[in-house]
Structure 1
């Protein structure tokens, strides 16, 4: 997918397993809350997106997305319900594991939802999601840097006290 504003390509995953993708449509950016089970989709993204590094993990991620936004029953299973998948081997097993949604967050990510703007999301072209990292605000970066520096100064002080003759040494830290 190509972002016309920046001219940059964008990696995106299909949302609707029943509709083909078309490159002849302009997409509108919608809210991820328009998707079924958007909270669970956000959990999946925050827990597993950093692990999507090859074709197997990308296929697992795609299967998990389809399962979350397509299935309507309780819980997630690739074996029954509205969405069922087979023949994906290790990617399918990985998707099943990821669908437990019990992992630790590996990042803070934003989901961008793109839909066909011509016919008001009437399944004429594939709806897509893209994922991007949410950068830390400048104040948070500054605070983390200050904490790291304070930890370094504290560690140096402890290390210097443990050396023989350290009682006579003085250290000064300038910030």
Structure 2
């Protein structure tokens, strides 16, 4: 399944800018990732990697989210938690640099339209690529094989590096609106079991000029068909 078809929304703001989200389950089987090094304090040596199927209880719309908080645990399936969007991720855990935020954007822009997140290897590889983009030193090239953040997973390591190479080579426009979702109600010293900060995206709307062009093309095609039918009569 293409992520472009499955993603329908970003978290809707409720009271005080927060939204209550429910974890419905996972996009695929969870792959084990062995973490060799991480700058994030208390990172486990072994973590699970896949996408998360979430629902916003206010809108009942569903979307897919990913972990950007490797040292904390997500809510259990069926449970709910309050989140807010932030432009300065993350005040309650490991803060991302401006370079890291740009890298996360590039990982989505370069790969997400063709990602099958129901495939366990692809989902795990994409999650690993996001962790590398978020946690690697700003001056290092992106690779999960070595560096400030390094990890491996059977069937996903090489693919994660492919996603990262695509991101580093990407020179196109931003095609996804990235939203950083922060667990509400906790400071930076929160316990590991207090929830996990997430990231999700929605497609960037087509500019008005593009919509007009598409409308014109569709209208022109319809007119051409009518003319052909008239000529055949």
Q: What's the TM-score, normalizing by structure 2?
A: 0.56
SS of aligned partner of 2:199? strand
More helix by proportion, 1 or 2? Answer: 1
TM-fit CA distance, 1:31: 2.1
| Paired position in structure 2 for 1:27 | 83
Which residue among 74, 82, 104 is the counterpart of 2:140? 74
Aligned counterparts of 1:33 and 1:126: Cα–Cα separation in 2: 12
Tell me if structure 1 keeps the 8 A contact 2:179–2:199. Answer: yes
- Report the structure number with the largest CA radius of gyration: 1
Pair 1:59 & 2:124 matched: yes
TM-fit CA distance, 1:116: 1.0
Pair 1:38 & 2:38 matched: no
Aligned counterparts of 1:130 and 1:75: Cα–Cα separation in 2: 24
Aligned counterparts of 1:111 and 1:82: Cα–Cα separation in 2: 24
Unaligned runs of at least 5 residues, structure 1: 153-175
1:4–1:24 CA distance, 2 compared to 1 (3 A): closer
Aligned counterparts of 1:146 and 1:33: Cα–Cα separation in 2: 41
Q: Which moved more, 1:25-34 or 1:39-48?
A: 25-34
More strand by proportion, 1 or 2? Answer: 2
Aligned counterparts of 2:88 and 2:175: Cα–Cα separation in 1: 15
Unaligned runs of at least 5 residues, structure 2: 1-53, 91-95, 222-233
Task: Report how many aligned residue pairs link the two structures.
Answer: 154
TM-fit CA distance, 1:33: 6.4
